[in-house]
Amino acid sequence: MTEVAIPAGPGTADILRRIAVARAALDSQVVILGHHYQRDEVIRFADHRGDSLQLARWAASQRQARQIVFCGVHFMAETASILAQDHQQVLLPDPTAGCTMADMVTGEALAEAWDALTARYGPGVIPVAYVNSTAEVKAFCGEHGGAACTSSNAVAILRWALGQGRRVLFVPDEHLGRNAGRRLGLGDGDMAVWDPRAEDPAETEDPAGAAPVGRPGAPGADGPRLILWRGFCAVHRRFSVEQVRAVRERHPGVVVVVHPECRAEVAQTADLMGSTDFIIRQVAAGEPGSSWAIGTEINLVDRLAREYPDREVVFLGDRVWYCPMMMRITPANLLGTLENLQAGREVNEVKVAPEVAAGARLALERMLAIS
């Protein structure tokens, strides 16, 4: 994980001034979306801020807008494009702003895993994709009876999926899947890990103690009920139990809140676990003088500390780190996107092939109907 410095640099004030001018000139034909993990210099121009699905759904409701400028990462812009109206275009200020977690599962690798698991266990393997995945992966889930999920509704979607078949293949975040599974009462023997990079993915050893897919688990010959893809968020995986203990020593009475993309032992040691929206609501509802240690991306933590100065809000990590992909959206490339629109040029449009969009939309719509 690369630590990213964000100096103001020469010319920043002029860039921000020009963004404001371009934004005013474009008026309602453009909406700018800002994910919670964006830097302040970018999110200050957002018409709406939120997590990826909140933003995509909000943008689709803005029927007057012709262009949606998504200040986030590529899979988020894909989701917005899938849900957008026919006359709307989705633009990503930097097309290289990807997601390492989303890149850990491809549609081809997911199909191979699903084929192997259905060959072993028969029909009844339901694929579920975290929204932090590509449109291709969501489409596979939609076309094979599965659904998408968010960090907020992962428990509800897994409960539904487990009721549809004998077992679930959850991609790509192992930790979100394990945390949701445990909240549903599944033990380590009910879960297994599938590592597509292993020589034999079915023999993946699980540090949590669950049996590999290739061997009978604790429940007996039926094998695991929840099969977790070996994927992770490079930011959230860095939080540790030692950091939780250390912050409690430094800040007596602190409430530790972590994102469910954190490892299971961290989630179990923390006081609370939930999505970015959950974290924001917890701090907002806190009493003046209360103390909070937050285990998520630092741009959001710093913003909460500024917005609630009567509360102590600190970063859980022992060093400062950012999501390097989110940091690729800069004031300079936001300015470039807006000034190109002023000149009648739509740059860095994110499109999803119609056949892929149809399957992905099915997974998203199934999720919304369930939750």
Query: Is the domain of 24 the same as that of 45?
Result: yes
Last residue of a domain, one of 291, 315, 339: 315
For 219, counting Cβ atoms within 10 Å of its Cβ (0-12 exposed, 13-18 middle, 19+ buried), the class is middle
Query: Is the domain of 109 the same as that of 217?
Result: yes
pLDDT digits (tens, 9 = 90+) for 226-256: 999 999 999 999 999 999 999 999 999 999 9
Query: Is the domain of 245 the same as that of 301?
Result: yes
Q: For residue 9, what pLDDT band results from cuts at 50, 70 and 90?
A: very low
Question: What pLDDT is stored for residue 8 in this prediction?
Answer: 44
Note whether residue 370 is domain-resident.
Answer: no
Note whether residue 55 is domain-resident.
Answer: yes
Query: Is the domain of 56 the same as that of 111?
Result: no
Kindly list the distances between the CA atom of residue 142 and the CA atoms of 61, 127, 132, 265, in Å, as whole numbers in the listed order: 23, 8, 15, 31
pLDDT digits (tens, 9 = 90+) for 298-347: 999 999 999 999 999 999 998 888 999 999 999 999 999 999 999 999 99
Last residue of a domain, one of 189, 216, 233: 233
Q: Locate 358 and state its tokens.
A: 């149809």
The pLDDT of residue 10 is above 90: no
Q: Any idea what the CATH number is for the domain that residue 277 is in?
A: 3.40.50.10800
Note whether residue 129 is domain-resident.
Answer: yes
Cis preceding linkage at 172, omega within 30:
yes
Structural domain tally of the chain? Answer: 3
Query: Is the domain of 118 the same as that of 198?
Result: yes
Domain that holds residue 43: 12-97+329-351
* Contact residues for 353 (Cβ-Cβ < 8 A; gap 6+): none
pLDDT digits (tens, 9 = 90+) for 31-59: 999 999 999 999 999 999 998 888 888 88
Question: What pLDDT is stored for residue 218 in this prediction?
Answer: 38
Query: Is the domain of 113 the same as that of 201?
Result: yes
Query: Is the domain of 111 the same as that of 228?
Result: yes
Note whether residue 363 is domain-resident.
Answer: no
Answer yes or no: are the C-beta atoms of 330 and 258 closer than 8 Å: no
Last residue of a domain, one of 233, 267, 293: 233
Whole-number mean pLDDT of the chain?
Answer: 91
pLDDT digits (tens, 9 = 90+) for 243-300: 999 999 999 999 999 999 999 999 999 999 999 999 999 999 999 999 999 999 999 9
Beta-sheet strands, E only, within 143-203 = 147-149, 167-171, 191-194
Instruction: For tokens 């807008």, name the residue.
Output: 65
225 closest CA partner among 165, 175, 180: 165
pLDDT digits (tens, 9 = 90+) for 180-206: 999 999 998 899 999 998 867 666 666
Note whether residue 3 is domain-resident.
Answer: no
Note whether residue 186 is domain-resident.
Answer: yes
